[in-house]
Amino acid sequence: MTGGRKEGRARLTPPAGETPIIVLVRPQMARNIGSTARAMANGGLFHLRIVAPRDGWPQPDAYPSASGADAILDAAQVFPTVAEAVADCHRVMATCPRPRHIVVPVRTARAAAEDLREIASRNLRSAVLFGPERAGLENEDMACADTLVRYPLNPEHMSLNLAQAVMILAYEWWTAAEPTPPRVLMTNETRVATKGELDGFLNRLMAELDATGFLDNLEKRPGMVRNLRHWFQRGEVTEQELRTLHGVVTELSRGRMRRGRPDKDDALPPWQVEGSKGP
């Protein structure tokens, strides 16, 4: 998942319609602002607002950790207060692990992402607040938020890096609208073999094994055949893999012929007898 092709900066375009604005409140480290931009780009978010950054803005130190998401940093807006940063937003969520003495709707990151998609679909503008690295959001900041986001995570170690917190939200935002099936077999140019093709191979394999005498024990034969069939069917097999397996059987049979052991009367070495119990 890491590494790979270099992204062209020109390709990072603001998404159409309303997408959630990420608001970093009093961030301390330029590197974290850059990493936030990278995480936003990963999850298809573009709009970054910064409230009272400790070291001012712009900061050249933010760019290296943005890993090409420079357009997000270039377009970032700075505000003196949270209230001003969200004044044009219709809905504001805040990420905060332990607010006290307030009554507020709480969402998991996943439910928050679903809600943000729903809000965007109604063409309303939303923002998500992230507090400073050490202290988190203050009650004053929370007052601007209508919803609280809490990530379910290990209570023994809840402290998330700022960019990691943004990453999880951006990931959930992207995933909430992602149609990728959760489970597939990547087959490239080939396709999954049909049961008929698999049967053709297995029948041939059994015939070859009968020829060697591997299946000579008539009492055990049905169970051994069944076991082999089940093993070959445990995962999906592609048509190309079946052709390779046909080739393997051909080669092993020819080898047997070449070694002058054309039929089942050969004495087998001990490990092959062992193997005859079936896989």
Ranges within 181-210 binding its own copies (CB under 8 A): 181-188, 190
Smaller CB distance to its own copies: residue 135 or 207?
A: 135
Query: Minimum distance from CB of 98 to its own copies (Å)?
Result: 6
Q: Is the backbone peptide bond immediately before 58 cis, with ω within 30 degrees of 0?
A: yes
Smaller CB distance to its own copies: residue 201 or 214?
A: 201
What residues numbered 205-264 form the site for its own copies, per CB under 8 A? 235, 238, 240-241
Adjacent-strand bridge partners of 130: 24
Smaller CB distance to its own copies: residue 101 or 195?
A: 101
Q: Which two tokens stand for residue 107?
A: 């969402």
Q: How many residues bind its own copies (CB under 8 A)?
A: 81
Q: Which of 163, 193, 209, 242 binds its own copies (CB under 8 A)?
A: 163
Based on its alpha-carbon atoms, the radius of gyration of the chain, rounded to whole angstroms, reads 30
Smaller CB distance to its own copies: residue 182 or 260?
A: 182
Smaller CB distance to its own copies: residue 194 or 203?
A: 194
Query: Minimum distance from CB of 202 to its own copies (Å)?
Result: 19
| 82 counts as binding its own copies under rule CB under 8 A | no
What residues numbered 141-160 form the site for its own copies, per CB under 8 A? 148-154, 156-160
Q: Which of 16, 103, 218, 267 binds its own copies (CB under 8 A)?
A: 103
Smaller CB distance to its own copies: residue 4 or 270?
A: 4
Mapping DSSP onto H, E and C, the string for 229-266 reads: HHHHHCCCCEHHHHHHHHHHHHHHHHHHHHCCCCCCCC
Q: Could you give the CA distance from residue 171 to residue 194 in angstroms, rounded to a whole number?
A: 37
Q: Output the DSSP codes for 21-69.
A: EEEEES---HHHHHHHHHHHHHTT---EEEES-TT-S--GGGSGGGTT-
Q: Are 59 and 166 in contact (CB under 8 A)?
A: no
Smaller CB distance to its own copies: residue 68 or 200?
A: 68
Q: Which of 79, 83, 90, 107 binds its own copies (CB under 8 A)?
A: 107
Smaller CB distance to its own copies: residue 99 or 200?
A: 99
Q: Are 22 and 49 in contact (CB under 8 A)?
A: yes
Q: Which of 139, 175, 203, 272 binds its own copies (CB under 8 A)?
A: 175
Q: Could you give the CA distance from residue 14 to residue 29 in angstroms, rounded to a whole number?
A: 25
What residues numbered 29-48 form the site for its own copies, per CB under 8 A? 35, 38-39, 41-44
What residues numbered 56-75 form the site for its own copies, per CB under 8 A? 67-69
Which positions ≥6 away from 186 have C-beta within 8 Å?
A: none
| 16 counts as binding its own copies under rule CB under 8 A | no
Q: H or E element: which one contains 221?
A: helix 221-233
Q: Could you give the CA distance from residue 168 to residue 113 in angstroms, rounded to a whole number?
A: 10
| 122 counts as binding its own copies under rule CB under 8 A | no
Q: Which of 87, 102, 124, 143 binds its own copies (CB under 8 A)?
A: 102
Q: What are phi and psi of 165, to 5 degrees?
A: -65, -40
Q: Are 23 and 129 in contact (CB under 8 A)?
A: yes
Query: Minimum distance from CB of 70 to its own copies (Å)?
Result: 11
